[in-house]
Amino acid sequence: MKDGHLESVFIKLSEDPQLDEVEAAFANFSGEPQKLKLPSAPENPIVVRHEKNRPQPRFDRNTGCGMSVVVGRIRKDPIMTFKYLCLGHNTIRGGAGAGILSAELFVAKG
């Protein structure tokens, strides 16, 4: 079974950061589920891969027990500011896992 959505993303930023700044912003991201230490929340919601051929659904879809988004091939773009690929497990993160994580968040927030 190969459940994973791979997306090609192009972004236009108002500033022109360096590549390492963009990678650090992804890698250091932590959301409310991580701050609340919710049971289904992955420790690292975004995982940055530096290999030239990653992310790939077969190899990366289960990162963070399927709850992390994997970002890679981050590079400058001559028209937009940056482009990159991101991968998420469409069943675990996209459907069932997101529903469970949302319920955990609702309970934690009262």
pLDDT digits (tens, 9 = 90+) for 10-42: 999 999 999 999 999 999 999 999 999 999 999
CA distances from 12 to 5, 45, 46, 108 (A): 22, 22, 20, 35
**What superfamily does domain 5-109 belong to in CATH?**
Dihydrodipicolinate Reductase; domain 2 (3.30.360.10)
pTM: 0.91
φ/ψ of residue 92, rounded to 5: -70, -60
For residue 82, what are the β-bridge partners?
A: 11, 76
pLDDT digits (tens, 9 = 90+) for 44-92: 999 999 999 999 999 999 999 999 999 999 999 999 999 999 999 998 8
CB 60 within 8 Å of CB 87: yes
How confident is the model at residue 94, as a pLDDT? Answer: 83
H-helix segments, 11-96: 19-27, 32-35, 57-60
